[in-house]
Amino acid sequence: MIKVGIWGLGSLGRRHMTALQYLNEPVTVFISDPNAHACEAAKDDFRKANFKYGSKIADKLGQHTIDFAIIATNSRERAFAVETALAAGARRLILEKVLFTRLEDYDGVSRLLSQYSARAWVNCARRTYSSFAHIKELIGNDDFTYRVEGTGWGMACNVIHHLDECAALAGSTDFSISTNGLEPEPIPSHRSGYLEFLGRLTASFGTRAYFESICHPGKPGDRVVRIEAPRGVVEISQANATMTLITSDETKRLDIDIPYQSQITARHVDSIRSGKEPDLPDFLTSSALHRPMITAFMSHIAKHNPNNQLFECPIT
């Protein structure tokens, strides 16, 4: 029986948990969240899901050791949750993003993973979309531009998904980033104690790729990705799950597969347990993208709030 620990039982953590019903073996799920109501909601979700093979749920790890950990806490608590999971025996972990609010946590967790001979992957999953292969084929080895734009889509929280996709297409995590186009004042996130940004964020992956991210104020709406390369243009509508491919020969619209988290977690766990790489960036790859982003956001906040002593970047 595989033993999986899940830290953080908000809606995303519970989706990770119910996805484990698709494992082809029994599972014991150990859950951890300081919010008792969240734990009870997770138990209800577990009971309603179609778990097979005598799977069970427990909310105390006790003397048990775990095989695998999913860290779905908020970013502020994530480093501590990783340390706890490693101490409990986990040697394979999936971490939610944004990874951490403090730059020192990137170094600290990297040392811990090395100390425990553990591996971790970060849940930036646009590489798993069916559109990714089409985009990669269109771009080939050419330079390209990547633009994502929408209203109220939570850029601070979600732009790492697009930076990761752009990096994967460019074949590099070496990039420079500019916050000059962001609105001076951040706005409150829907998660208490965290911030969001509006405006325009840009980045360059050398001469290979130019990246632009725009978030307008307002209620959450569609988020559209437009990628331009010499051989054509791709437009992806997140809300409609469609891709429009425009070349000199034709324009065609395709439905794309944007899998729900509750569909893909088990697939990642199965891949990792069989010794394969999941379709996710590993910790070092994702850290190389997170660090410049966190640094840039912190500098932006400090520039417009010079009297605010900043020791972290409060995004999650």
pTM above 0.85, yes or no: yes
Residue 262: the pLDDT is 84
Which tops the pLDDT comparison, 219 or 304? 219
Residue 60: the pLDDT is 76
Q: Return the bridge partners of 195, or none.
A: 188
Residue 39: the pLDDT is 95
Burial of 80 (0-12, 13-18, 19+ CB in 10 A): middle
Q: What is the pLDDT of residues 203-219, one digit of tens each?
A: 999 999 999 999 999 99
Q: In the predicted model, what is the mean pLDDT of the chain?
A: 95
Angle among Cα 267, 268, 274 to the nearest 5 degrees reads 90
Q: What is the pLDDT of residues 75-119, one digit of tens each?
A: 999 999 999 999 999 999 999 999 999 999 999 999 999 999 999
Would you give the DSSP letter of residue 277?
A: P
How far is 47 from 156, CA to CA, in rounded Å? 35
Structure tokens at 76: 């502020």
Residue 59: the pLDDT is 81
Residue 219: the pLDDT is 94
Confidence class for position 309, pLDDT limits 50, 70, 90? low
Residue 308: the pLDDT is 66
How far is 70 from 7, CA to CA, in rounded Å? 6
Confidence class for position 291, pLDDT limits 50, 70, 90? very high
- Tell me the residue ranges of DSSP E strands in the chain: 2-7, 27-32, 56-58, 68-71, 92-95, 119-122, 144-151, 176-182, 187-188, 195-196, 199-205, 209-216, 223-229, 232-237, 242-246, 251-255
How far is 16 from 101, CA to CA, in rounded Å? 22
Structure tokens at 92: 């394979």
Spell out the domains of the chain, with CATH numbers in brackets: 2-124+263-281 (3.40.50.720), 126-257 (3.30.360.10)
Which tops the pLDDT comparison, 311 or 253? 253
How far is 133 from 138, CA to CA, in rounded Å? 9
Indicate if the alpha-carbon torsion angle 156, 186, 293, 140 is positive or negative: positive
Q: Percent of the chain, pLDDT > 90? A: 90
Confidence class for position 45, pLDDT limits 50, 70, 90? very high
Q: What is the pLDDT of residues 159-194, one digit of tens each?
A: 999 999 999 999 999 999 999 999 999 999 999 999
Which tops the pLDDT comparison, 309 or 287? 287
Confidence class for position 126, pLDDT limits 50, 70, 90? very high
Confidence class for position 301, pLDDT limits 50, 70, 90? very high
Helical residues (DSSP H) of 55-202, grouped into ranges: 75-87, 103-115, 131-139, 155-170
Q: Mean pLDDT lowest for which of 153-167, 248-262, 285-299?
A: 248-262
Residue 263: the pLDDT is 85
Q: Mean pLDDT lowest for which of 31-35, 40-44, 55-59?
A: 55-59
Question: Counting runs of H as helices and runs of E as strands, what totals does the chain give?
Answer: 8, 16
Residue 307: the pLDDT is 67
How far is 166 from 147, CA to CA, in rounded Å? 10
Residue 201: the pLDDT is 98
